[in-house]
Amino acid sequence: MKILIELPTWLGDTIMATPAIENLVSLFNNLEITLIGSDIAIEALKNHPRVFKTYVLEKNYLIFFKTLRGLIEYDIFLSFRGSFRTKFMKFCISSKSSYQYDKKKYPNGHQVEKYNNFISDVMKNALAPGKLKLHTKIVKSHSKNKILGINPGASYGSSKRWYPEEFAKVAIGLSSDYDIVIFGSSIEKNIATDIENYLIKKGVSNYQNLSAQTSIHDLIAHISNLDLFITGDSGPMHIAAAYQIPTVSIFGSTNDKETSQWMNEDSIIVKKNLNCQPCMKRVCPLKHHNCMKLITALDVLKAAKQFD
């Protein structure tokens, strides 16, 4: 059985699709999976033992068409994306049957459940979603001290981001018990640098700033070795859930009932439950950003102390 799977674009969504993919794998003894998707999504899942080939879909249409021409015939084409581009791809890909995720058909529940229901409907089964699953080989750290990960970024937009100074206050408050690792993509480097500068001003030296320095594989490896993770609603948050890392997640504009950590027993959400939450906007439409502004470092420190 040869199945072509188009992954979600975002890292977090891709990881939230893994329980559905694992259930799909369980239905076939001789399954060969080909993955297509963004470079981030492919990097996260390319090490799955049933994945035989991967293709990164570029935004450049000439490269995109060239990639489509290189695809062979498949028994099934499954896409976790509802985009127009995927609708076009369905006509170009040689497949006995094709199925595309439609978020309007799955309006309720956690995103993990939505993706799993999609696969259940396609395969006509009722397998419940298990835990998030990543197949990256991890080498355990031999650090003498406990490690705290700080992840201040959120690719979706500024409405999801807590403030660098508040993250720094949390890191400073925990620095006597933990060595600190600051994460961030290349577009979040300035935020991570701001946190680093606050730490330096307070004389904290037991930290690493890894912003813009990690591949997806490296990011997974580092997060899997943490003793505590403090993060916004983001892709790295879901990596932590996959490895059951004790996590404090800070939620503002997004819906924690849909995108919180899935099946992580050591997970605490910090949010303010304002009437305007969740607005699901990239930028605060009311211009006050109170869903994040009203969250204090003390709120997060109190949550973190529950893991002591």
pLDDT digit string, tens, across residues 227-283: 999 999 999 999 999 999 999 999 999 999 999 999 999 999 999 999 999 999 999
pLDDT at 117: 98
Question: Is the distance from CB of 170 to CB of 162 less than 8 angstroms?
Answer: no
The single-letter DSSP state of residue 177 is: T
Domains, in order of start, for the chain: 2-123 (3.40.50.2000), 146-305 (3.40.50.2000)
For the purposes of burial, counting CB atoms within 10 Å of the CB of 245, is it exposed (0-12), middle (13-18) or buried (19 or more)? buried
Indicate yes or no: pTM above 0.85.
yes
User: What is the C-alpha end-to-end distance of the chain, expressed in Å?
Assistant: 48
Q: What is the mean pLDDT of the chain?
A: 95
Distance (Å, whole) CA 44 – CA 112: 16
Q: In what order do the strands lie in the sheet with 32-37?
A: 51-56, 32-37, 2-6, 74-79, 95-100
Q: Where is pLDDT greater, at 238 or 85? A: 238
| Residues contacting residue 124 through CB under 8 Å, at least 6 positions apart | none
pLDDT at 63: 86
pLDDT at 154 exceeding the cut of 80 = no
In angstroms, the Cα distances linking 205 to 71, 110, 200, 219 are 51, 39, 7, 22
Distance (Å, whole) CA 81 – CA 87: 9
Question: Is the distance from CB of 164 to CB of 152 less than 8 angstroms?
Answer: yes
Q: What is the pLDDT of residues 189-226, one digit of tens each?
A: 999 999 999 999 999 999 999 999 999 999 999 999 99
- Which amino acid does the sequence have at 36? I
User: Closest Cα partner for 3 from 100, 80, 87, 75?
Assistant: 75
Kindly provide the residue ranges of all beta strands, DSSP E only, lying in 57-143, ordered along the sequence: 74-79, 95-100
Question: Is the distance from CB of 21 to CB of 127 less than 8 angstroms?
Answer: no
Confidence at 53, pLDDT banded by 50, 70, 90: very high
The residues with which 37 forms a beta bridge, in sequence order, are: 56
Please count the CA atoms within 13 angstroms of the CA of 275 that sit on its side-chain side.
1
H-type helices in 124-265, by residue range?
164-174, 189-201, 216-224, 235-242, 256-259
- Residue length of the chain: 308
Distance (Å, whole) CA 41 – CA 2: 20
pLDDT at 155: 66
